[in-house]
Structure 1
Amino acid sequence: MDPRRGRSPSLLMQLLLPPRILFGRGALAQAMPHLRALGDRLILVHSASASAALPLADDLRALGCTVHTYIAKGEPTLPGLEAALKTLRPHNAGAVIALGGGSALDLGKALAALLPGTHPPLYHLEVVGDGHSLDTAPLPFAAIPTTSGTGAEATKNAVISVPDAQRKVSLRDDRMIACLAVVDPALTEDVPPAIRLASGLDAITQVIEPYLSRNATPLTDALCRDAIPLGLRALRSLMHTPTEQAFGDMAHVSLSGGIALANAGLGAVHGLAGVLGGRTGAPHGALCGRLLVPVVRTNLARMRGPRGPEVLSWIAAAFPEAPDPLSALEAWIDAQGLPRLADLGVTPDTHGDVATESLAASSMRPNPVQLSVSDLLQILASS
């Protein structure tokens, strides 16, 4: 038996991840032959602020591709996705490339999944829709992140906000994994400090939660065990003395988190953040960053085994200013100016509904301990 999990070493495991990952400074330039090989007719979805998008489109056109560009405006919503499908379906593209932050990558991933099909998005969306599997294989999809946070270049779902339901839910299918992930840390260096902080905290959350997840395996552990301390050190460096090394380390952590969460799931931070984001429209990374310490503190108080002390030791090494590692991390987050939930539009009168709705979120199921509405109310009050 595995003493860390109480599981047999012969337990069936799988690791779902992009079949080709190009990682490192200059990776985008090296990816051009692989991007060209996706097909002659391409859709390039990109963030409005992604300065590399137009040069990439020009380079692909110079290689003989027809490229239709589409700007991702904010986090993807159901109406926005429906409008994009209507606009882009006549182009009869053979593949989709997405370049930008997690929102652009999620929109591109959703378009690649739904463009070949005939059903509307709600037929496939979880929770608020019918949740049916895709009945047509997605188009080939390539992901090029320009932030280090969501790990969307390696996940099998796209998060879509549904305003009428005030929820964020997923379009999910194993076949939605990118066939090519291009992770070039140089593309992340122009991100403003506030976004760098929020996305970095999201990346760290996405290696801590899979490590503590009840669905963790030795394969996901191998990714998270190195990525947690690496991410904590890198984020601190990026907010004080940014270096090429720190940008590269955080990109590595973000990619590791995407692979880990796609295979081991997440936990209460994301269970709450999905509901809060749908209700308020607040940035996902900021919500995760603000919830991280209260959720980890609540989970570790009830967990047994070595994982809790391990996580605390990694936090203490990066944030040694206080005897309690979680208090030290929270004080540092406060000092960087991350908004509290109240500043993000979360009012106390909504806490009860948020807590109740969060219990049904798919991200809540792998949380290492079962939390009650009362537990979630305490977390929300302290965030």
Structure 2
Amino acid sequence: MKPFSLQAPRIVFGRGAAASLPKEVARHGSRVLLVRGRSVAFVDTTVTQLQALGCTVTTLFGAGEPDIPQLETALTTARAVQPNCVLAMGGGAVIDLGKALAALIPAPRDPMAYLEIVGQGLPLDAPPLPFIACPTTAGTGSEATKNAVIGVPSHQRKVSLRDDRMLASLALVDPALTDHCPRGVTLASGLDAITQVIEPYLSARATQFTDTLCRDAIPRGLNALAHLMQGEDANARDDLAYTSLTGGIALANAGLGAVHGFAGVIGGRYGTAHGAICGRLLAPVLRMNERVLPDQGLKIARYQEVRRWLADALGGAPDSAFRRFEDWVDAQGLPPLSDLLPPDADLTDIATEARASSSMKANPVTLETHQLVQILWETLHR
């Protein structure tokens, strides 16, 4: 057995778990910075309960995926109130914003100093504030990761603020908070969750521990998403929330791959929904990886497993599973890649930037720029 290490926050998972959230947050002090989405009534209830416990709550609303201008504005507000902790309640974008604020409120430098690729990539100068994450969608697994994805408009990129100390003090995942999430959001976020257990399973950095998590989560997540596209199902919500959490742990410890290498570039340039990019590029990337992969029994066997799990969840034969997945996302109404990219998009430029991304480093095979261009071209013209 190969040696491995594990990084994960303290985790509380289960229906009804959110009832303990106010007391958990109040343990960290009386000045709470709340970063939230707008649509979940339970967030309002949590604020009331925190105030009843003697906490002062300063609220910031997340507006789309966080970028440098939004982060800088939020930092000005947050530093003025000197919070003891940061609580983020919302989707992955809200949690990333909250995580970044918890990291940067004590930091003396400009945010760009700490960003990878387009910034200086410096380690944080001071420990982050305690951070509590409570997701209300099932997709990114951001509650379990040590990075926050931030858009940098001046570079047309999405990159990470990353530090081992950015892991949440508590990741509280209550699947009930995702009940009746809109169908389109469920689809896009669910496709992200599935991608984030498939890529770590096939990753060059996979470990025995992440393998164990992903082997359970991949079929569980595929079946859950298929059920939710047919109608509301509490058990499927539970399974998809678990898959999302598992994906966060897996990617933090085993990395991702070419799908996310593309997603950071395309999302940063064109503001395209992350989950939609993952859903459109997952099968084409798997197909190319399998085509290029050396004839190594263990690696080939993993692709055969993924094909079988796809076939079991969506129907059809394993040999045609990647095509079946593409047809299935068509049928669910996911926009085609031609709607996610402008007509004049430079595929070579996108591929070149994607190849240099941090996510690409864990892809199971090295893909050359022309092969990445071929993935995009074949997806556009399928």
TM-score band w.r.t. shorter chain: over 0.9
SS of the aligned residue for 1:52 comes to helix
C-alpha separation between the residues in 1 aligned to 2:188 and 2:129?
A: 31
Query: Is 1:125 aligned to 2:115, yes or no?
Result: yes
* Residue in 2 that maps onto 1:97: 87
Q: Look up the equivalent residue of 2:309 and give its one-letter code.
A: W
Deviation at 1:83, TM superposition (A): 0.6
CA contact (8 A) 1:148 1:188 kept: yes
Q: 1:350 aligns with which of 333, 346, 353?
A: 346
The equivalent position to 2:8 in structure 1, one of 17, 20, 26, is 17
State the 1:239 CA deviation: 0.5
Question: Residues of 1 paired with 2:236 and 2:377: CA distance?
Answer: 33
Q: Distance in 2 between matches of 1:262 and 1:302?
A: 26
**Cα offset, 1:88, TM superposition:** 1.3
Further displaced range: 248-257 or 338-347: 338-347
Distance 2:225 2:206 in 1: 24
Per the alignment, residue 4 of structure 1 pairs with none
Cα distance in 1 for partners of 2:149, 2:212 equals: 26
Residue identity opposite 2:371 in structure 1? D
Say which of 354, 357, 362 aligns to 1:361.
357
Unmatched tracts of structure 1, length 5 or more: 1-8
Residue type matched to 1:208 in 2? I
Separation (CA, whole Å) in 1 of partners of 2:130 and 2:8: 14
Q: Secondary structure at the match of 1:159?
A: strand
1:112-154 Cα deviation digits (max 9, x unpaired): 0000111110000001100000010000000000000000000
Pick from 311, 332, 335: which aligns with 2:328? 332
Quick check: 1:234 aligned with 2:224? yes
C-alpha offsets along residues 326-382 of structure 1, whole Å, 9 cap, x if unaligned? 111111111001011221234354211100011110000000000011111111123
Per-residue CA deviations over 1:61-103 (Å, capped at 9, x if unaligned) read 1111111011000000101001100111010001000000000
Partner of 2:305: 310
| 1:102-121 equivalence runs, <5 A | 102-121=92-111
Q: CA deviation at 1:39?
A: 1.3
Structure 1 residues 50 and 346: CA distance shift in structure 2, 3 A: farther
The residue correspondences of 1:46-65 to structure 2 (distance < 5 A) are 46-65=36-55
Deviation at residue 316 of structure 1 after TM alignment? 1.2
SS, match of residue 15 in structure 1: coil
What is the rounded CA distance, in whole Å, between the counterparts of 1:302 and 1:348 in structure 2?
Answer: 28
Rounded to whole Å, the distance in 2 between the matches of 1:376 and 1:264 is: 22
Q: What is the TM-score when the length of structure 2 is the normalising length?
A: 0.96
Contact 1:21-1:182 within 8 A present in 2 as well? yes
Q: What is the CA–CA distance in structure 2 between the aligned matches of 1:289 and 1:317, rounded to whole Å?
A: 18
Deviations 1:236-256 (CA, angstroms, capped at 9, x unpaired): 001013211000000000000
Q: Does 1:244 align with 2:239?
A: no
Amino acid at match of 1:216: A
Q: 1 CA distance for matches of 2:103 and 2:87?
A: 12
Q: How far does residue 320 in structure 1 lie from its aligned partner after superposition?
A: 1.7
TM-score by length of 1: 0.95
Note if 1:217 corresponds to 2:207. yes
| 2:283 counterpart of 1:293 | yes
- Residue in structure 2 matching 1:376, options 372, 378, 381: 372
Q: CA RMSD in A?
A: 1.1
The question of whether the paired residues in 2 share the 8 Å contact of 1:234 and 1:249 is answered with yes
Q: 2:126 matched to which residue of 1? A: 136
Question: In structure 2, the residue corresponding to 1:161 is in which secondary structure?
Answer: strand
Residue in 2 that maps onto 1:3: none
Q: List, as ranges, runs of 4+ consecutive aligned residues in structure 1 with deviation greater than 4 Å.
A: none
Please say if residues 57 and 69 of structure 1, whose CA atoms lie closer than 8 Å, have aligned partners that are also in contact: no
- Residue 101 of structure 2 aligns to which amino acid in structure 1? L
Whether the 8 Å contact between 2:89 and 2:136 is mirrored in structure 1 is yes
> Equivalent residue for 1:158?
148
Count of residues paired in the alignment = 373
**Contact residue 348 and residue 381 of structure 1 kept, 8 A:** no
% identity of equivalent residues = 55
SS state of the match for residue 41, structure 2? coil
